[in-house]
Amino acid sequence: MATRKQFDDYMMPVYNPANFIPSKAKGSIVWDDKKKKYIDFASGIAVTSLGHCYPPLVKVLNEQSKKIWHLSNAMTNAPALDLAKKLCKLTFAEKVFFANSGAEAMEAAVKTARKYANTHYGKHKNEIVAFADAFHGRTMMTIALNGSERMTAGFGPMPSGIKHHPYNEIKGLEKVITKKTAAVVLELVQGEAGIIKAKKNFLAKVKKLCKEKNVLIILDEVQSGVGRTGTLFAYEQFNIKPDIVTTAKGLGNGFPIGAILTKDHIAESMQVGAHGTTFGGNPLACSVALEVINSMSKKTVLKNVLRKEKLFIKKLKEINKNLDCFERINTAGLWIGCKLKITETINLDTVLQQCYKNGLMVLKANNNTIRIAPSLIIEDKLIKDGLNIMEKSIAQLQRPRV
């Protein structure tokens, strides 16, 4: 039987995984290798949005696995073409590029924006503006975009041409978004920072400056996209027309895939050979993602996200009334941040461990926020049961046994 010690013995120590090893899952329930059961409020960090082993996805994956697994980009394939067509039909996009992860989609977005700016306005227009406390991934370009010393320390020199500005801060924006800016990179909801939404007046100013200065708007919807906030993409709720959107996580429900969505006139700057990847557009990944999009774009699924969000809010407020444990509860659909009141016995790690002990998987955001990102079709009963476990866990920590 695999053990946690094996991780320490053989894996590069960039993660600190839980002590239990999940081995089976169905819907929003996960079992570890000792058959202990957990309610899943994590979804592998907002990935398994249709739950684990969702039968229609298992079916298409099985069927595709008997047809064809992989082709080079010297060929195209039906699942990739069908997925691209579907994404264009359901969004602002006219062209799609497939990658394998969120960070890769961000890399493709930045390359595309710079190439577009270079082609249309000249090579001086190459700066990228990003925001403080953002999270765009772990590659060199994306850690440079993240704008936190914590993620770049020791990895320099960083890619150049990136400017940062505080999120939701209007003051001084005109000094960073200039004629030299190729693109602004933005999350409409900052997930890693604790589910923080972009403010209306901040977005309005970003939009105005981008229009005046011919700057592209890249929206990072790697975590917010594919139904998480109650619409297929979050931008539908924010009165903003993006030039490029990145997506990944929920798109494959756990089968690795990322994508950028963009317009014809922008995609035209990327000629044959300008970008590429071995696995992007893989038929297995694309057939799964097509089924995800078909399921996720149904009105009933998206409506239920907003209904279930209300269930969470109601119960979380009750927990807070009983235990006075949260400073704030932020939500954006089924994406929830509970900012903890830190005490001697309560911090993010103790809460996480106690929840695990009691059979609940939750996530961290920032260093003080419990992040909840369950399957978008989690049963109402499991929402109640899971939140009861969270309440019990926090109560136990408030009254540690002597």
Ligand X SMILES: Cc1ncc(COP(=O)(O)O)c(C=O)c1O
Contact residue for ligand X among 54, 98, 116, 135 (CB under 6 A): 135
Report in angstroms how near the CB of residue 151 gets to ligand X at its nearest: 12
* CB contact at 8 A, 232 and 90: yes
- Asked whether position 248 contacts ligand X by CB under 6 A, the answer is yes
Examine residue 137 and tell whether it contacts ligand X (CB under 6 A): yes
Shortest reach from residue 142's CB to ligand X, in Å: 7
In the bound state with ligand X, the residue whose beta carbon lies nearer, of 234 and 378, is 234
Helices and strands in the chain, H and E counts: 14, 17
Residue 54 carries which DSSP code?
-
Nearer to ligand X, 215 or 222 (CB): 222
Residue 252 near ligand X by CB under 6 A: no
Least Å from the CB of residue 191 to ligand X: 5
Comparison of 150 and 321: residue with beta carbon closer to ligand X? 150
- Least distance CB 192 / ligand X (angstroms): 6
The Cα 222–Cα 244 span in angstroms is: 12
CA dist 129 and 147 (Å) reads 10
* Residue 222 engages ligand X in binding (rule: CB under 6 A): yes
Q: Which residues contact 377 (CB under 8 A, 6 or more apart)?
A: 27, 49, 50, 51, 301, 304
CB of 119 to ligand X, least distance (A): 26
Query: Binding to ligand X (CB under 6 A): which residues in 32-71?
Result: 45
Phi, psi of 108 (to 5 degrees): -65, -35
Q: Shortest approach of ligand X to residue 339 CB, angstroms?
A: 18
Q: Which listed residue (60, 99, 103, 217) binds ligand X by CB under 6 A?
A: 103
Query: Segment contacting ligand X (CB under 6 A): 28-36, 107-115, 129-137, 286-294?
Result: 129-137
Q: Kindly write out the interface string for residues 183-212 of this chain, putting x where it contacts ligand X by CB under 6 A and - elsewhere.
A: ----x---x---------------------
Q: Can you tell me which residue has the tokens 């590069």? A: 12
Q: Is 243 helix (H, G, I), strand (E, B) or coil?
A: coil
Q: Does 280 bind ligand X (CB under 6 A)?
A: no
227: left (phi over 0), alpha (psi -120 to 50) or beta: left
Among positions 66-85, residues that touch ligand X (CB under 6 A) are none
Strands 127-131 and 189-190: unpaired
Close Cβ partners of 352 (under 8 Å, ≥ 6 residues apart): 362, 364, 370
102 forms part of the interface with ligand X (CB under 6 A): yes
Residues in the chain: 402
Nearer Cβ to ligand X (222/346): 222
Nearer to ligand X, 225 or 386 (CB): 225
Beta bridge partners of 217: 184
E strand or H helix that includes residue 6:
helix 4-10
User: From the CB of 228, what's the least distance to ligand X, in Å?
Assistant: 10
Q: How far apart are CA 339 and CA 364, in angstroms?
A: 10
Q: How far is the CB of 100 from ligand X (least distance, A)?
A: 8
Give 282 or 350: the residue with its C-beta nearer to ligand X.
282
Place of tokens 């997930």: 191
Q: Which is nearer to ligand X, 93 or 106 (CB)?
A: 106
- Report which of 237, 239, 229 is spatially closest to residue 206, judged by C-alpha positions: 239
The yes or no reply on residue 326 touching ligand X (CB under 6 A) is: no
Which positions ≥6 away from 191 have C-beta within 8 Å?
Answer: 46, 135, 223, 224, 335, 365, 371, 373
Spatial CA neighbour of 362 closest among 30, 52, 27, 6 = 30
* Binding pattern for the stretch 332-371 against ligand X, x by CB under 6 A and - elsewhere: ----------------------------------------
**Nearest residue (CB) to ligand X, 103 versus 390:** 103
Q: Which is nearer to ligand X, 142 or 295 (CB)?
A: 142
Which residue number, 190 or 295, has a Cβ lying nearer to ligand X? 190
Residues that bind ligand X (CB under 6 A): 45, 101-103, 106, 135-137, 187, 191, 220, 222-223, 248
